[in-house]
Structure 1
Amino acid sequence: MHQVIYDHHKLGTELDYIQNLLKEISESRVRYGIQDLQDIVGEPVRMPFRRAAYSEVDETEVVGLQDDKINILKLLCPEKTPRRAVITIVGAGGIGKTTLACMVYKSAKADFDYHIMLSISQQFSLIDLLRKMISKNNNSVPNDRGEDYYVGELKRCLNSRRYLIILDDVWTGDLWNELKEVLPDNKNGSRVLMTTRHNDVAKSADSKIPPYELNLLNEKESLDLLLKKAFPYQEPHEECPKDLLELAPELSMKCKGLPLALIVLGGIISTKELSYLAWERVLQTMTWHSDGTGCMRIVAMSYEDMPYYLKACFQYLAFFPEDYVISAKSLIRMWVAEGFIPLEGRRTIEIMVEDCLEELSRRSMVQVLSRSANGLIKHFKVHDILHDLAMHEAEHENFVTVFSQASDDTLPNNIIRRASLQAQDKNDQFLEYAT
């Protein structure tokens, strides 16, 4: 009799587990936009990934940059100007300079013998930049030599070759002043493409080629981008209810045509109910000021909209330097060790932490760079403006204290809960987007 009762209890427990598992699968299917297999009629059945595999720039998701891409490619054409030329893309933070540069790089690199795209931090090291360029063709670059050695090696690497070097997010003219003496002019159409927020940097790079200024999106482009992010992996105009389509232009106009603001706002409303009241509440909380803080206010609103544990995960990103390519696997282990994520049901902590990173991606708070074969995030980075927000919130909450060579050695007055040591001369401070 006792055995029968025990068996019934065991069976009931296993049924509860299966029911909870099915519920989680169903919720995940909705969250990641996966169709029911029976809904796919007349097509071969393929098991869906967690999300579609990511390419560095999915141009089908890009709005308003196709004409700019064509114009920049014309400037890069080697036959147009045989001398080494420097093209600069200038615009405000969040306007799409990096996205445009990635699009151009993907299309143009096959026309050059040597090509590399690097992200430049505010505190750059010329030696590290030279080492990164040399390592493009040589994996065994010594790290204990002087500047003259690396200059000579790079010149030998680029000698008689037509090269394309893209320097993303240049902050000062000092960078090009140092590099122009290093990069040879082979008179074969070599090109340097720089992106910057600062007009003085852009104008000083090449006096014969005026800076290429990116414009803000118009009303239609703004609305299209907002809806693409609000309804990822779907057709927005089919999925969005009619009353929300009428409200969406008011939301998009609040972003003043700035792509990053539209992307983050789209991430916010993608988490809301498909109801007029829910979207109207978002609209009522939005403000934009002409002092340049409008984008920061929108990303701050996205941060405030997060649950407490997701805020902790976002603040943790302040541990990493600006423009750092973050390994999702390493970060997930850190989050697990910190115990940020509350357990729910029978889901493993690893799955829940992975879902938190996916949620940050869905809210457009991180930029995914690569995914594994099963769709999980492998590497990502954080936009400068969002990194500034993470740093601000982490400092305000005394979540992490950052030490770098750019700062003084004075210890803060408050108790240090977590410390991040960010050396300026780390080799991977400069990051290669594509190979």
Structure 2
Amino acid sequence: MQQLSPRYNDFDISEQSDKLIRLLIERQPQLDIKEFERSREELFDLLIEGHPPLAMVVILDSSGFDKTAFAADTYNSNHVKFYFDCLVWVRVCLLYDFGKILDDIIKSVMPPSRVSVIIGEDYQLKKSILRDYLTNKKYFIVLDDVFDDSEIWDDLEEVLPDNQNGSRVLITVSDPDLLTSFELQNGQKIRSDSVLFGGPLIKIKHEGWQFFILNYGNTPLKSYIGEKAYPTIWSKIFSLLELPFHLKVCCIYLLVIRPSIEISTRQLYLLWVAEGFIPYNSEETADHYLKELIDRGFIQVSKKRAGGTVKTCYVSSYTFVSLAFVAAKTEFFRTTDAEEKSPANRVIIFEGLIEFFSLEHSDMYLQSLLNHSLESDQLDLKDCENFCKKFKHLRVLNLGSAVLDQYPPGNAIKLHRSFTRGYLDDAFELWFHHSTCTSKK
């Protein structure tokens, strides 16, 4: 890790640098500000003064156009806040999960007293409850950074009622292939090589919905992902490799956060400390590292406390991809679904914790196991005991949402459940995030 630099040969960075520089120069912003303002007014007219049926607007990237900033500017407008009964902003994960999108919408629109009951209900029942709740309400929903799952249109249709009252949905799209099942007004099918003309706000056909594309580009749709993602990802990689060592390891460790999912800064500090990245286990030092990574664009602030300190944060999809590239090259992490089983001593589980516990493992020197599955898996005591006996070098264990009926008995492990400090003091140490790891005992 200490030897990695932007010119490290194993990364072939030098072969990419010239192409990156050329792309950045050639793709200088060409956006006409006057045209942008006119289009902004046109969008506001559609949102507020448009026809009563439910309308959906998809925003594409283009040169000089920040789709998320544009959507946020619209969302935070006083006119929008005054006009709609319900406002929802959902940051969509790179790994598409409509169940989480559904939960986020429910949390945003429903009273807290109902949310705690509804979230635990069956998936189909939750969809029905949300649809009933939104009926007769004028809602405005923003889904930011939808990447590559065409099922989203059918999923939304099942839960969003058309009340004929001017409700609207605004979606920022990172992969234009999502639009290839649609047609233009003239009946021409949208393809990956299509160039969209006819104005910034283009009306398209989609199964009876009012559907629009906000587009400033004049290039084929397939060019969007390359022109946007390639420079962004490689710029992040360059920036990462230029970090001092103490920030480099803390930065790559951000892979423990699912892309675009919030994590509390308190939990992140504890993980950094447990891994030994923070000198003297100083929370003040961890806070300083966090601010450095925020300033350098690796971490996005989600929520702040009343005093102004960062309460929760997240990693964008593009940053996550960049970090994953470097982590794979350095064998810093391994995920359980990786095709090639590297000898990394840290393992992240995004799905299938129970399967991992029941397998015959060869990772005898595993030091960190981090469960980030969204499922509340029920862990068998026997599997847990065998697991703890097998991985005798384990230092950090975050079971996430997993449920233990009871902790393994005896002296096999020592549980540290003091969360005011993240100190590690014994040879065999496990760290549990108590807010999500549940015990019935």
Alignment partner of 1:72 is 2:14: no
Alignment partner of 1:331 is 2:268: yes
Match of 2:349 in 1: 403
**Cα gap change, 1:290/1:86 in structure 2, threshold over 3 Å: closer, same or farther?**
closer
Q: TM-score, normalised by structure 2?
A: 0.58
Mind listing any 5+ residue stretches in structure 1 that lack a counterpart? 1-62, 217-257, 259-288, 430-435
Whether the aligned pair in 1 keeps the contact of 2:88 and 2:141 (CA below 8 Å) is: yes
- 1:162 deviates by 0.8
Q: Distance in 1 between matches of 2:128 and 2:89?
A: 21
* One-letter amino acid of the counterpart of residue 90, structure 1: L
Q: Distance in 2 between matches of 1:149 and 1:190?
A: 23
* One-letter amino acid of the counterpart of residue 211, structure 1: I
Secondary structure at the counterpart of residue 194 of structure 1: strand
* One-letter amino acid of the counterpart of residue 398, structure 1: E
- 1:397 deviates by 2.5
- 1:332 deviates by 1.6
Secondary structure at the counterpart of residue 186 of structure 1: coil
- 1:412 deviates by 9.0
Compare 132-141 and 105-114 and name the one that shifted more. 132-141
Match of 1:197 in 2: 174
Alignment of 1:341-352 (within 5 A): 341-342=278-279, 349-352=282-285
Match of 2:302 in 1: 369
Q: Distance in 2 between matches of 1:212 and 1:125?
A: 25
Whether the aligned pair in 2 keeps the contact of 1:91 and 1:197 (CA below 8 Å) is: yes
Alignment of 1:293-308 (within 5 A): 293-308=230-245
Match of 2:389 in 1: none
**Cα gap change, 1:314/1:399 in structure 2, threshold over 3 Å: closer, same or farther?**
same
- 1:399 deviates by 2.4
Q: Distance in 2 between matches of 1:353 and 1:291?
A: 32
Alignment of 1:282-321 (within 5 A): 293-321=230-258
- 1:370 deviates by 2.9
Q: Distance in 2 between matches of 1:339 and 1:73?
A: 51
Whether the aligned pair in 2 keeps the contact of 1:123 and 1:424 (CA below 8 Å) is: no
* One-letter amino acid of the counterpart of residue 173, structure 2: T
* One-letter amino acid of the counterpart of residue 166, structure 1: V
- 1:82 deviates by 0.9
From 63, 70, 81, the counterpart of 1:109: 81
Mind listing any 5+ residue stretches in structure 2 that lack a counterpart? 1-31, 183-203, 219-223, 334-346, 377-399, 402-441
Q: Distance in 1 between matches of 2:276 and 2:287?
A: 13
Match of 1:183 in 2: 160
Secondary structure at the counterpart of residue 309 of structure 1: helix
Secondary structure at the counterpart of residue 176 of structure 1: helix
Q: Distance in 1 between matches of 2:362 and 2:241?
A: 27
Q: Per chain length, whose mean CA-contact separation is higher, i.e. which structure has more relative contact order (CA < 8 Å, sep 6+)?
A: 1
Alignment partner of 1:145 is 2:121: yes
Whether the aligned pair in 1 keeps the contact of 2:150 and 2:178 (CA below 8 Å) is: yes
* One-letter amino acid of the counterpart of residue 418, structure 1: S
Q: Distance in 2 between matches of 1:134 and 1:70?
A: 30
Whether the aligned pair in 1 keeps the contact of 2:56 and 2:212 (CA below 8 Å) is: no
Q: Which has the higher helix share?
A: 1
Q: Distance in 2 between matches of 1:291 and 1:101?
A: 18
**Cα gap change, 1:66/1:356 in structure 2, threshold over 3 Å: closer, same or farther?**
farther
Q: TM-score, normalised by structure 1?
A: 0.58
Percent identity of the aligned residues? 26
Aligned-pair Cα RMSD in Å: 3.5
Alignment of 1:411-426 (within 5 A): 416-425=366-375
Q: Which has the higher strand share?
A: 2
